A and B are shown apart, each in its own frame.
Chain A
């Protein structure tokens, strides 16, 4: 009788442990899903300046074993690696945002006092904008403007034409 009670108690403990582990794995999977969505949001928001491929080391529990059911430990390691990856990308994103803020402030100053920023060049990419344009403080009317102190802010016409690139390659 005692033996039967002991067995049923052991089974109950085993079953509880399995349920607990299943719940833990489900919770970890939910965390991994949440982190993956965060990662995607950062990459999408930071396009084209923040990309994951610069950072693409296979996560600890991945790739080598192919598709499989991950153990609790593997899920934990994957979650931790994802947290680290999200943190790293957030840091990159913050650095990028700070650089853009500085660039915008510089552009405002170049616009207000072009004479103080003679021949200063500021690529639009630094402002977080697409394209190849460059803001530059140049003298109005060339040499005359340079001598007379007539400075203006100009924006270059954009990306080089394909034929110019081809010629440069040749």
Chain B
């Protein structure tokens, strides 16, 4: 992917955006970066104690009142507005941060769910910006945003893959749709336990600064790389 070099040098890349999408949302961007792990981590295995401790610390920041106040803060509010603009009701299908905080209230804390998920969760709670991960080895070219076409399937071409409706906003590579916007990527493209090359991506919507998005990606990348280096 195009972003591979940038990922290795520590930067991130803005992905492509189909004209019909950028005409409507000129400020919408998909920001990607590639992470190469020096040694295989068990990405689905248990997180190291330091990461679990970080989740515990983050859990202490959130109570019921903060969860409600969240919607008045600039970054979560920008995602709520964008949800409405793309036909999602954030009070029914929550934004990623609100979903995480709601789960924290129900579970009593940000419970560890596996190394990669925990890294992404910590970045989300820290910055308010969600980051998703894909197995870079399964991708065909750089990531971008476009509308799905009629009869297109998510993640692969066989009949078992979920079929998309025409005109849905998707994250895609050169050959196929990988995820609906703000939804989990197709399982086939999710990182496996031993994946060494990950493509991280995040969605910058109007009202969210580049700094927030860069920080979220940087946080995930540095955490994963330092864990792979055994630091």
Which chain A residues have a beta carbon within 8 Å of chain B's beta carbons? 22, 25, 29, 32-33, 36-37, 40-41, 43-44, 47-48, 51-53, 56, 58-59, 61-63, 65-70, 74, 78, 82
Contact = CB atoms under 8 A, between A and B. Distances in A.
Interface of B: 20-21, 23-24, 64-65, 68-69, 71-72, 77, 80-81, 84-89, 91-93, 147, 164-165, 167-169, 180-183
A67 B87 contact: yes
Contacts of A25: 24
A170 B69 CA distance: 35
27 contacts: A32-B81, A32-B84, A33-B84, A36-B81, A40-B72, A43-B71, A44-B72, A48-B65, A48-B68, A51-B68, A53-B91, A56-B89, A58-B89, A58-B92, A59-B89, A62-B84, A62-B89, A62-B92, A63-B92, A65-B165, A66-B168, A66-B180, A67-B169, A67-B180, A67-B183, A69-B21, A69-B167
A63 B72 contact: no
B86 A69 contact: yes
Nearest to B68: A47
A37 B76 CA distance: 11
A65 B69 CA distance: 29
Given A29-B85, A66-B165, A68-B168, A47 B65 contact: yes
Given A25-B24, A43-B68, A69-B147, A33 B87 contact: no
Contacts of B64: 48
A33 B207 CA distance: 11
Nearest to B181: A67
B88 A62 contact: yes
A58 B87 CA distance: 10
Given A48-B64, A69-B21, A69-B169, A62 B81 contact: no
A41 B72 contact: yes
A155 B39 CA distance: 63
A58 B88 CA distance: 9
Nearest to B92: A58
